[in-house]
Structure 1
Amino acid sequence: MRKVAVVGAGMTPFAEHFALGIKDLLPMAFAECAASVDKGLRTADLQAAWFGAMGTTDGPPSGVLGDALNLPDLPTTHIENSCATGNDAVRNALFAIASGAVDVALVIGADKLRETAQKDLLGEWGSLTRDQAWDYQLGLFGPAAFALHVSRYLYESPATREHLAMVAVKNHRHGARNPKARLRFEISLEQALQAPIVTDPLGVYDCVPQSDGAAALVLAAEDVVDRYTDRPVWVRGVGLGLDSVTHQYQRDMTSFPATARAARAAYAMAGLSPADIDVAEVHDFFTGIELMSYEDLGFADRFEAHKLVEAGVTTLGGALPVNPSGGLKSKGHPPGATGVAQCVELFEQLRGSAVNQVDGARIGLAHNLGGPTAVSAVTILGV
């Protein structure tokens, strides 16, 4: 397979964009992405696009992208894979370029959730992620399903709600400095612990704010990468992992097998190990997911993730900063855009231009988990 690089990256702020529709957000992300290509990008150079989105109310997503970017001749594939959508779009574009089918591709993700029509769509989409015979009857909406995992993890491991709160405090501190984050304020440990409970043991500050936004990447084959930049960020590895949709068939609620499978595939493709990662964007839809994912991604031994947050390992200035962007927790979470935005952050980190720059970062990892826990995608970038 040919090597593939990210040569451009950009995104909108993640926010409640009440005055903007998805057809406004897509051009904003694409324009910033195109402007970041060092030697310039012509839209005629794009040979295909992969568009990650939960769905739209303005028509078929592929057609919406063509309309919004005025690129009706650009072959576009719509990707929807729960919260793993963004990194799965990267994975699909990578394989198309690596195979030689195309040389230059656009990967873009967007969702518009904060308006009446899309809120209805979000509710419908959420119901489709639950098993109708089991989870739906038990009222296991998204937060409750994840709370089952986190509760069991807190029961079996030395981790406590204080460790969840430490993750929230860390990500809010990082996000407060990110001009594109939705929740740009710091919180204290006491605030996180005393916040109203959403679904035990998850409080308000353990949960992500659903948001609007878009993010975009331009990927290019090694044969043509010099046309666009002398500072490529290479896609070193990708992985997609699956697990049972139904909790009743999951043997161990203290781990996410989908993440472990996706990570193994990505590390193997990259020829790297967890010890090689300098910076990571980890799916923190809920704080407990980030904590548990440290172990599934190989950053900590089983039931020892709490030690990383206690020692400050995963904060800026630590040995392995996690979510320097603020993560989903502070930055926000338009599901189709999130994984792409994680790669935007890593692109900037590895080129030394990030807002919360990690010194000497050369290898970065992005991770999504969704469905609620049935699918995970991991992308590893490097310079």
Structure 2
Amino acid sequence: MAFEETWRWFGPNDPFSLKEIKQTGAKGIVTALHHIPIGEVWSVDEIIKRKKMIEEEKLKWSVVESVPVHEDIKKRKGNYKLYIENYKETIRNLSKCGIDIVCYNFMPVLDWSRTDLETVFDDGSITTKFETKAFAAFDLFILKRKDAEKDYTEKQIEEAKQYFNSLSDFQKEKLVNTILFGLPGSWETYTLEEFKKSLEDYKDINKNDLRNNLIYFLNEVIPVAEESNVFMVIHPDDPPRSLLGLPRIVSTKEDIEIILSSVNSYNNGLTLCTGSLGAGYENNVVEIANAFSDRINFLHLRNVIRDSQGNFMEADHLNGDIDLYNVIKLLLIEQKRRIQQGRKDVRMPMRPDHGRLMIPDMNKKGIYPGYSLFGRMRALAELRGLELGIIHSLGIE
């Protein structure tokens, strides 16, 4: 047995077709119904329509990424009860259509953060990075968030100031647009004023509050997931630290332990994103994978080069600071153990998460950063080779 090779596809508006994806060797599709507003029910008809589109190309809808969690649920305010009921109904409907893994996250306001989407790698390909002084410059001198200086040391403030003063007006605008960049599949962005308002909505919500709101949500939806044989797998924070005063609760081994133990069910699981967790300098991704191996149902495999100052850059999948060899090895062993135990969740889909923009894709429009065809195809080939070597070395059939 091996991991199910999958590919993230953003639906009919994706610049890459299912026919192109099929030629990468991936068998499963990771997608979502991006056209349905967040908080509304995904009907069986809409799910089946997308599923048929995928199956016509002899592919399989392997994982939903994501059924977004409405901000009202994260804040436990407004119409949060209605949105939770709608979420439950969506889980039931996905189950009726034979889809049993749902990836989601609980990050407030921003689902990910980078300060540069066009970093040139040493081979001329393009990658993304997060630079602490650039983000601090945005926070302190562009957004001008109230009390922001309390989140930084004097040295960090001085470095951010020098960096900000070195920027042209064009570069400042580019930094704003990068940080406020839209979510995959949507291409929508916040205006600066909308962003400030969204941050203001969280001013009275601390880490414990957000965690309690997640646990409330899990206590509501996991019983439905159990009844429906659907595995809910939470995605870690990206990057795994508080930003802009917003709490983050899926950033460390300790965070994950609290979440998984709060509702102790195999249906309450983890998406192991080696890049998101790996961006935390103190996080040992192999140790985290080992600690929660029996609750991991979906793998995002990517690599980063990181430092103790919080800076990181997305790197070659097999040549960054994260030990993907041992992550893959221990999870292949875990998969074999599940098969021997007769568990239902033995598929463990894997997708090459992100990939650098390479020459054949550079003139193609509409490519979301990290989601080029050739960059991900290279990553999938590398990961496939590594996995095959480990399988043979372990004698796993």
TM-score by length of 1: 0.33
More helix as a share of residues: 2
Q: What's the TM-score once normalised by structure 2's chain length?
A: 0.32
Report which of the two structures shows the higher radius of gyration computed on alpha carbons.
Answer: 2
